[in-house]
Amino acid sequence: MSWLAVRNSKVVEMKQETVAPLAGVKVVELGVWVAGPAAGGLMADWGADVIKVESAQGDPQRNMFQALGIDAQIGEPQFEIDNRGKRSVVLDLHSEDGKREMLSLLGDADVFITNVRLPALRRLGLDPDAIRSQFPRVIYGLLTGYGSEGPDVDRPGYDIGAFWARSGLAHTMVSPDQLPPAIRSGQGDHTTGITLVSGVMAALFDRERTGQGRLVSTSLLRTGIYTLGWDIGVYLRFGKRESTKPRARLRAPLMNSYRCSGGRAFWLLGLEADRHWPALIAAINRRDLAEDERYVDARARLVNSESLIATLDEIFASETIDVWTQKFDEHDVWWAPINSIPDVVVDSQAIAAGAFIEMNPREGQDPYRAVNSPVDFDGYTFRPGQVPWLGEHDPRW
């Protein structure tokens, strides 16, 4: 009988359509802040039993809102999205008893996930070599800032430093003479968390064939560079890249953003310029532009992009986004609204696509919504577990 069948011994009597894809998989997580807990959080959303090991002070991400007077036990959205449905235990990993308890947890685990830095893991006896030698069936998921080898492996990363700044992503967002804007928190962490989970899933599948676990590793830096792979690939091949330009000087007017009257904005998606140009002309009712020799084909529009962008700015500023929505849809213009966060949470398509989930509040809490994880499985309806209080599950593990 396979490991999965054994693990599922308590759930096989459930109706097939209610079984989570990772039901019966045990994950031990030693993670802090976002990237490591994000990986464990996805697996918890997909039905794994994720045990979050914390110090007596707890994951520091728990306390981000305390400065605003919010009790950490009530729950913070930033902590919640990556930690709902887990079990929390408190261990002093610097003590012999704590180390023994940690090894006991790992004894029947399928996956160990951590984003603690390697020097600390070595001091605790929880580095990949130590754990893999004791538990050869465990999938060891290691998420680092800069990788496991090289001169800067022990440098603190965070997603701002390793994913955004050092990978080249932040630099490509703006013109070369400008500094990047403030980066929204957690984006690189979540992307790298998904990356780690994909590797862990492959290793679990491989273990079905071999009976052996693997070390699966990724880093914020590697994932950031992969994310920018189009631009970096062109540079590796040809030694060139087109610098980022202000939107008024972009060379692709049909792949640009525009503002309507009333303040709302949208992005044209005319990637195939000659194919999408006639539909745009029909929507804006400007046949004269189609006959203008400056804009007769994609090459001409590229050469004269600044003047065309300025003209389109004037046209689109003359009507509200509701008017343009109707005209674009009538003529099959490809576009997307530039949503603010308040726009996103009421976007009918985002809601229909399952982007949000009704949370299971604790007693005394009002019902509320949260961001859903990004993957669905047919036959499995995700019902999010509660966010664990620090050490809440110590007596039961």
- What pLDDT sits at residue 280? 98
Answer yes or no: is pLDDT of 5 > 80: no
What is the band of 6 on the pLDDT scale with cuts at 50, 70, 90? very low
pLDDT of the residue at 177 = 86
The number of beta carbons lying within 10 Å of the beta carbon of residue 288 is 9
Average pLDDT, the chain: 91
Q: Please report the sign of the dihedral spanned by the C-alpha atoms of residue 193, residue 195, residue 197, residue 199.
A: negative
Instruction: Give 15's pLDDT tier (boundaries 50, 70, 90).
Output: very low
Give residue 77's pLDDT.
84
What does the block give as tokens for 51?
Answer: 């045990």
* Tokens encoding 210: 């071999």
pLDDT in tens, 354-395: 999 999 888 878 889 999 999 999 999 999 999 998 888 886
pLDDT digits (tens, 9 = 90+) for 327-353: 999 999 999 999 999 999 999 999 999
pLDDT at 156: 86
Residue 234 has φ and ψ, to the nearest 5°, of -65, -40
**pTM of the full structure:** 0.90
- The pLDDT of residue 76: 76
Entry field: residues in the chain: 397
Interval 203-249: pLDDT, tens? 999 999 999 999 999 999 999 999 999 999 999 999 998 889 899 99
pLDDT of 68 reads 64
* Residue 7 pLDDT class (50, 70, 90 cuts): very low
Which of 25, 30, 61, 58 has the alpha carbon at shortest distance from 43? 25
Measured from the Cβ of residue 72, the count of other Cβ atoms closer than 10 Å reads 17
Task: Give which of 266, 286, 165, 282 is closest to 224, Cα–Cα.
Answer: 165
**Exposure b/e, 132-151, CB count within 10 A at least 16 = b:** beebeebbbbbbbbbbeeee
* Structure token digits, residue 378: 């047919």
- The domains located in the chain, with CATH, are 3-227 (3.40.50.10540), 247-338 (3.30.1540.10)
| Rounded percentage of the chain residues whose pLDDT exceeds 90 | 80
Confidence of residue 67 (pLDDT cuts 50, 70, 90): low
In contact, 180 and 173? CB cutoff 8 Å: yes
Which range has the top average pLDDT, 71-75, 163-167, 393-397? 163-167
Tell me what pLDDT residue 170 has: 95
pLDDT of residue 362: 84
Average pLDDT (268-287) is 96
